[in-house]
Structures are given as C-alpha cells and as structure tokens.
C-alpha cells in the first residue's frame, strides 16, 4: 500500500479541508446542518478517497476512488461559490478557495493520469 502522506494531491486536499473547517466555524448557526456540513463533507471526501484508493485490490479500484475524489472536489467548488453568493465568505476568500481547489484539481488530474497509465 502506498503511503498517502507522500501523495501531493492528498497534501493539497488535506490543506484545503483544514482551511474549509477553519473558515466554516464562522458560518451562521442555522447552516450547521446545511451548508456547513455539506461543504465540510465534500472537502474531506476529496482527501479521504485519495487515501482509500491505494488500499484497494486493483488499479481500476484505485481510479474509481480518484474519480470520486474529483467529483467531491467539484462539489466543494460549488459550495464555496454558494457561500460567496450568500455572503458567508468574502470575495477575496472565495478567490483564495477557488485558487486552492484549482491547485488540487491540477495535482489530482496528474495523479489520475499516472494511475490510468499503470492500469
């Protein structure tokens, strides 16, 4: 099994998750079971699926989890967009999160391509 802490996509996704958790602490209480929960779940799913993939039996299974991770990252991007539209985060914070998700997407894309070549 691959050491996930050495996977750059995981490190970036982990940083994104921590940033999301820190920022959503200030979201309105009425969003605790709504947007706060959803954006956190989507963010940690990115990193969690990168971790789970390599422990599976085949490269195809690994890819499946990387694709799920990519989908969760798209969800995270949307929830950041929504938080911005609802004025829960500033335009600057929204831009920062957007840049962070783009970096994760780029790195995750590279990981997916590498695993696809191995599969």
Vertex 50 angle, CA 78 and 76, to 5°: 10
Is the pLDDT confidence value at 1 over 70? no
| Cβ-based neighbours of 51, under 8 Å, separated by 6 or more | 4, 10
Vertex 54 angle, CA 8 and 47, to 5°: 45
The CATH code of the domain at 4-118 is: 1.20.1440.60
Q: Which pLDDT score is estimated for 119? A: 78
| Percentage, residues of the chain above pLDDT 90 | 89
Q: 3 pLDDT band (50/70/90 cuts)?
A: confident
State the Cα–Cα distance between residues 110 and 55, nearest whole angstrom.
19
Q: Which residue has the tokens 């695993």?
A: 115
pTM confidence score: 0.93
Pair of tokens at residue 32: 């605790």
Q: 2 pLDDT band (50/70/90 cuts)?
A: confident
Q: 55 pLDDT band (50/70/90 cuts)?
A: confident
Domain ranges of the chain: 4-118
State the Cα–Cα distance between residues 95 and 93, nearest whole angstrom.
5
């Amino acid at each position: 099994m691959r050491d996930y802490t050495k996977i750059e996509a995981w490190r970036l996704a982990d940083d994104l998750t921590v940033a999301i958790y820190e920022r959503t602490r200030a979201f309105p209480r009425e969003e605790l079971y709504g947007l706060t929960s959803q954006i956190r779940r989507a963010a940690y799913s990115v990193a969690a699926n990168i971790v789970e993939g390599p422990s599976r039996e085949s490269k195809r299974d690994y890819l499946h989890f990387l694709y799920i991770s990519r989908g969760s990252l798209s969800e995270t991007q949307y929830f950041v967009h929504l938080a911005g539209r609802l004025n829960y985060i500033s335009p600057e914070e929204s831009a920062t999160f957007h840049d962070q998700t783009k970096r994760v997407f780029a790195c995750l894309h590279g990981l997916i391509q590498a695993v696809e070549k191995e599969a």
